[in-house]
Amino acid sequence: MSSYRVSIIVKLTFLGHLKDIIGVKFLDIQISSKVKLGEFLRLALGMYPSLNRLLNNEGHITGEEVLVLINGIDINVFEDPYSELYIENSDEITFIPITHGGLTLLLG
């Protein structure tokens, strides 16, 4: 019987001006097993220091200006998403800026 290790790939997507802040629109991060969201984000921060613009040292979002979705679900619907949610294979984490520009119409 052969033994092999399965890698877990998690995709991070940065929308709007966040892709400019981080420097890329997509990141694929490989982990060896499922982990809690907080632990995963700390790991990601260690691998990609530019994430410090969005995350503190504990792996928590630093402000209210960013919406975080895991597989399309807002993490804020959970009481303590950093310890309640587990990141697993093929999960997608999307960072969406809440602040954005608008359209101004001039009526003459």
- Structural domains in the chain? 8-97 (3.10.20.30)
Q: Which of 35, 34, 57, 33 is nearest to 45 (CA)?
A: 57
Q: 0.85 exceeded by the pTM? A: no
Question: Do 69 and 94 touch, CB atoms closer than 8 A?
Answer: yes
What is the Cα gyration radius of the chain? 16
> Picking from 13-17, 50-54, 92-96, which range would have the lowest pLDDT averaged per residue?
50-54
SS3 103: coil
Question: Do 75 and 69 touch, CB atoms closer than 8 A?
Answer: yes
Longest dimension (CA), the chain: 78
SS3 35: strand
pLDDT tens-digit series, residues 33-80: 999 999 999 999 999 999 988 888 888 888 768 999 999 999 999 999
